A and B are shown apart, each in its own frame.
Chain A
Amino acid sequence: MNIQEYIDSGVLELYAAGGLTPAESAEVDQMAAQHPQVRLALEECLRAMEAYALTHAKAPRPELEDHIIRQMEAVTAPRPETAHPQGRVLPFDSPVAGPTNLQPANRWWQMAAAVLLVLSVGANVFLYSTLQNTRSALALARQDSRQYALQVHQLEQRNLQSENLLGVLRNPNTLAVPLKGVEQHPGAQATVFWNQETKEVYFDASGLPQAPTGRQYQLWALAKGKPVDAGLVKPADSTLQRMKTVAEAQAFAVTLEPEGGSVNPTLEQMYVMGTSPGR
């Protein structure tokens, strides 16, 4: 059987949908490993099934979160470098995601809201369209599938972003720099995740008090005693956000600045600070 026939046979689709026995699946794995063409076609099938799985998404009860997270923390996952002595490096940034801004992780509720919105709009339009001729009904169907495609696309994007973030956190080159609250703000804290190789910086602002309206937090890298702007902290971002890359820093600090940021830090408004063991 030639490769194209193999791809067209439907076996890859069965694999993706989970309809093969383990032995049959192993055969597909082997084919995919040998033939890039098969691998590509298989990936497309897997993505399609991922998208299909996503359409069934349903947020579990919020009470479960703490419980399950604690269970996970109880398991210490061996870190990548111990499992792979030669130091396998997770991809820090895939070109697909690029320098897009990082979005908060917990968007399922927003997604649900968006779905409902799309639905209610769709429903209204649908009622109206029953008065219209077949042509407009056809146009509508097309729009529906575009909306669906858009939604799945957004989910895909988010998926990629979280894979990237996980890559950042699990990367052995990533240095976590804890920032502690200064005297005036003992309760505040934050963490900088700084990749020593690519120099990229991610920031976890979840321990900072909410910035008053009209003000914004700004991250500074202190290099040889000089503060260098490392980017503005976006409000309402509950997970890691990507900051400017920092080539050199002995310490990081966060100040509260007027919205839009400042050229130089307002030192009286410093909230947290931490020295970096890195370069």
Chain B
Amino acid sequence: MAQLRAQDQKAITLLYRNYSAALYGVILRIVKQEEVAEDVLQESFVKIWSAFSTYDEQKGRLFTWMLNIARNLAIDKIRSKQYRVSSRTQPMENTVTRHLESSEGIRPDHIGVQEMTEQLNPDQKVIIDLMYFNGFTQSEVAEELNIPLGTVKTRARMALKFLSKLIK
């Protein structure tokens, strides 16, 4: 038992050290406030660890699985707050502007990487960001940006094609 515990401890440390920055970055981008992000980060790791044995590598990569847990918790968080209501009822220009603002500037320690993804076409990026960081569905995105559903799909596809090319 002591042995198992030693291995678990090591695994926990490893998980935390290797993924905390990745998860925290995404969570912060979603909830926007550091204090809230820290809470969600903790919730995410506890959930990840307690569900760890149910993770099935046949069904997908570990990192994707962890990202999903963190993203879902973060999105639940912003949905539980009233500011989602206000953000959804505001005209599109506002949301898009605020959205663009939020993707720049605030976090000086990674502007660099962000600049690199600036190569991503802004029309395409906004679609990915609304879905990934705001939890919008495709039809909500279409409504928000006032564009046809088909265009949402095409742009999402082009954005991911571009990102894929960068990794290769």
Q: Which residues of A contact B (CB under 8 A)?
A: 8-11, 13-14, 16-21, 43-61, 64-65, 67-69, 71-73, 75-80, 82-83, 90-91, 105-106, 108, 111-112, 115-116, 118-119, 141, 144-145, 147-149, 151-153, 156, 158-159, 162-163, 165-166, 169-170, 174-176, 178, 191, 193, 204, 239-240
Docked complex Cα distance between A151 and B117 (Å): 12
A58-B25, A64-B42, A72-B49 are known; give 12 further A-B pairs, CB within 8 A: A17-B127, A18-B132, A47-B167, A49-B128, A49-B160, A56-B28, A71-B45, A141-B119, A145-B119, A151-B116, A153-B167, A163-B62
Residues of A within 8 A of B49 (CB): 72, 75, 77
Interface size class on chain B is 35 or more
Q: 1/0 per residue B1-34: CB within 8 Å of A?
A: 0011011111111111111111011101100000
Question: Which residue of chain A has the shortest Cβ distance to B60 in the bound complex?
Answer: A46
SS of B interface (majority) = helix
Docked complex Cα distance between A48 and B120 (Å): 13
Of the candidates B45, B71, B156, B157, which one forms a contact with A68 in the assembled complex, judged by CB atoms under 8 Å apart?
B45
Q: 1/0 per residue B146-168: CB within 8 Å of A?
A: 00000011101101100110111
Docked complex Cα distance between A178 and B10 (Å): 13
Residues of B within 8 A of A59 (CB): 20-21, 24, 109
B25 pairs with A47, CB closer than 8 A? no
B113 pairs with A13, CB closer than 8 A? no
B94 adjacent to chain A (CB < 8 Å)? no
Residues of B within 8 A of A64 (CB): 20, 38, 41-42
Q: Which of B41, B63, B156, B167 has the most CB of A within 10 A?
A: B167
Residues of A within 8 A of B89 (CB): none
Of the candidates B38, B114, B152, which one forms a contact with A60 in the assembled complex, judged by CB atoms under 8 Å apart?
B38
B11 pairs with A57, CB closer than 8 A? no
Closest 9 CB pairs of A and B: A10-B153, A19-B131, A56-B25, A48-B163, A10-B157, A119-B112, A108-B21, A162-B18, A58-B25
SS of A interface (majority) = helix
Given known A79-B4, A156-B167, A176-B6, contact A52–B117 (CB-CB < 8 A): yes
Of the candidates B16, B17, B109, B159, which one forms a contact with A72 in the assembled complex, judged by CB atoms under 8 Å apart?
B16
Given known A58-B21, A239-B17, contact A149–B138 (CB-CB < 8 A): no
B26 pairs with A56, CB closer than 8 A? yes
Residues of B within 8 A of A151 (CB): 113, 116
Docked complex Cα distance between A220 and B166 (Å): 44
A82 vs chain B, min Cβ distance (A): 8
Given known A60-B20, A193-B7, contact A17–B132 (CB-CB < 8 A): yes
B90 adjacent to chain A (CB < 8 Å)? no
